Amino acid sequence: MSDEASVAAQRRRVDWAPWAILGILALAVIAIIWLANRKQPPLAARTVKTGIPLTTEQRSVDFQTADLTFDVQPGDKRIDGHAVLGFLVKAPIARLQFDLDPELPIKSIAADGRALQDSAWKNDGGLVTVNLPAPKTAGEKLTLAVDYGGHPHIARRAPWDGGFVWAHTKEGKPWVATAVEGEGCDLFWPCFDNSRVEVGTVTQHIIVPKGLAAPSNGKLLGIDTLSDGRTRWNWTARSPNNYAVAIDVAPYKLARQTYQSRYGYRMPVEYWYLPGEDKQAQGLLAEMVRTIAFFEATIGPYPWWDEKMGVVETPHLGMEHQTINAYGNNYKLAPEGFDWLMNHEFSHEWFGNQMTNGDWDDMWLHEGFGSYMQPVTIGWLHGRMGYDEAMWKQRQTIANKFPVVSGRHQTEEEVYRPETGPANDIYVKGSWVLHTLRGLIGDQAFWTSVRREVYGRPDPRPGNFQPRFGSTNEFEAIASQEAHRSLKWFFDVYLRQAHLPRLVTTRQGNTLALQWKTPHGLPFPMPVEVAIDGNRQVVPMTSGRGTVAVPNPFSVITIDPDSKLLRQDDAMDRFRDDQASKRASAST
């Protein structure tokens, strides 16, 4: 190489250096932006679903206890878990399976206190299979201890999509919540992700940074202070729904009262809220006490009378977490003077937690009944106008695109997606079906049917009932018994068909003819009340048809003057669709 060439090469090196530094800086900036905005991996196909049928191994055991330790690290949005799961073996097994999000890697598993080799277990897309050191026979016990940890799935729009919510209070303190109804318990603890499985006792030990509180399900066993200042909150709960097991962390304050029940027991009523809201908290606490007294008088004893009634303020709207319901309605004022969100979630202690659907296909038993309790409560507070107005609002969003109950197994996702299932109709149409049923069979038969469905008996008292699973078929049978006649036609048309029955009326001379038109011509002997010039009469409609005499051509006729009947209403549908299209164009 000549001298000239060497000088040129040196110059190139010198020219090149600042560009290299700039390039490295740019890459670093891009990397930081990417890290800050990185998308979390999508949930595994199995993990995203809840209500998948149990595996043979899962059906071979009773899931009796879950002792769950969660080390919650808001700074890193991380949890480390230690779960001790207790099973009673019902049929011989050589291996066991449970569900856990594969994004929470398992560090170790021990069976009956013996650490297993890593090769003895694997997490295959969210289904963990553990080969036991020796087969188990019926009657034996099995304990699995699972150590795991990582960054749990983050919910972007809780509670409609599930996961952790890592929020902050106004003062910048951590405010953490979980809501996993749609995806299931396997988003943060090893469980059987199916509503058919309720673990007998769930104990939680929630470790949180200094200065934060962790209210949870059931009874408080105690709070330990660790040597580094963190605290461990120990709770135990009886038979919670697995999606109702919840973690809530914030610098909470506690508003508390003792409730004296008409059933003779006394119990704490607790509201955990953010600092600075003492006045609103006392208001909500008073409403909680008033609501439990009304629900006990209307439905029956509060199912968790030996634990507590609990509500916790959350960064998301709400969720029916057993004895620690999530509340995020921000004390919104309403002309009815009641908080619908607290009322709705609280109703799930009966419809959802005490009586749980045996399959997600029967989810209207949670949401239809739960949604009916708001009009019922308003009716108690304000009389008929409040009840009717609340029902009228619910009526306006009924879609009638899919049957409320399909009659086959469905996952939560299939039920809730408006493209595949009834979605919002399990709330509003479910509520209206109950309203119409009540009008048909009367208050006495209606509320006795509800009570029997919830408790499995008509005379519930604290101590004489257990949490149970319900179904639409069972409720149909109970209501038929209480009404002393078969109501199959009622449930077939309203719940098992998408379209509503249509009442066709024709006036000819001095006669008004009425006829029910139903999908597939199904029988529908629904009586219809008619007011003619203010004079009311009930047309039996036993064959789906009936006639009424009309005195003169100028008579004023009102069909169903008390709005008892859920039926096809074209004007209502046009309004609903118009509202929906206006909402759609406003949001694009």
Where along the sequence are the contacts to Zn ion (CB under 5 A)? Answer: 367, 370
Of 300 and 370, the one with the shorter C-beta distance to Zn ion is: 370
Of 367 and 412, the one with the shorter C-beta distance to Zn ion is: 367
User: What CA–CA distances, in Å, run from 14 to 17, 23, 588?
Assistant: 6, 15, 53
What DSSP designation does 315 have? S
CB of 294 to Zn ion, least distance (A): 18
* 107 and 121 Cβ atoms separated by less than 8 Å: no
Residue (of 369, 379, 284, 367) closest to 333 by Cα position: 284
CB of 318 to Zn ion, least distance (A): 8
Q: Could you tell me the two tokens for 129?
A: 């299979």
CB of 368 to Zn ion, least distance (A): 10
Of 349 and 367, the one with the shorter C-beta distance to Zn ion is: 367
DSSP element (H, E) containing 535: strand 535-539
Of 204 and 431, the one with the shorter C-beta distance to Zn ion is: 431
Angle at 271 between CA 267 and CA 273, to 5 degrees: 160
Amino acid found at 416: Y
DSSP element (H, E) containing 54: none
On the 0-12 / 13-18 / 19+ scale of CB atoms within 10 A, 397 is middle
CB of 193 to Zn ion, least distance (A): 19
CB of 177 to Zn ion, least distance (A): 16
Of 79 and 404, the one with the shorter C-beta distance to Zn ion is: 404
CB of 385 to Zn ion, least distance (A): 25
Of 102 and 328, the one with the shorter C-beta distance to Zn ion is: 328
What DSSP designation does 154 have? B
Of 367 and 414, the one with the shorter C-beta distance to Zn ion is: 367
* 551 and 583 Cβ atoms separated by less than 8 Å: no
CB of 367 to Zn ion, least distance (A): 5
d(CA 345, CA 327): 8
Residue (of 414, 367, 359) closest to 194 by Cα position: 359
Q: What is the DSSP string of 220-286?
A: EEEEEEPTTS-EEEEEEEES-BGGG---EEBS-EEEEEEEEPTTS-EEEEEEEE-TT-HHHHHHHHH
Which residue's Cβ has the minimum distance to Zn ion?
Answer: 370
DSSP element (H, E) containing 458: none
Measure the CA dihedral 345/347/349/355, to 10°: -120
CB of 418 to Zn ion, least distance (A): 17
Residue (of 205, 152, 203, 200) closest to 178 by Cα position: 152
Amino acid found at 414: E
CB of 351 to Zn ion, least distance (A): 8
Of 242 and 448, the one with the shorter C-beta distance to Zn ion is: 242
d(CA 102, CA 109): 15
**DSSP strands (E only) in 125-162:** 127-136, 141-150
What DSSP designation does 86 have? E
Of 89 and 398, the one with the shorter C-beta distance to Zn ion is: 398
Of 364 and 475, the one with the shorter C-beta distance to Zn ion is: 364
What letters, b where the CB count within 10 A reaches 16 and e where it falls short, cover 579-588? eeeeeeeeee
CB of 345 to Zn ion, least distance (A): 7
CB of 347 to Zn ion, least distance (A): 8
Of 310 and 370, the one with the shorter C-beta distance to Zn ion is: 370
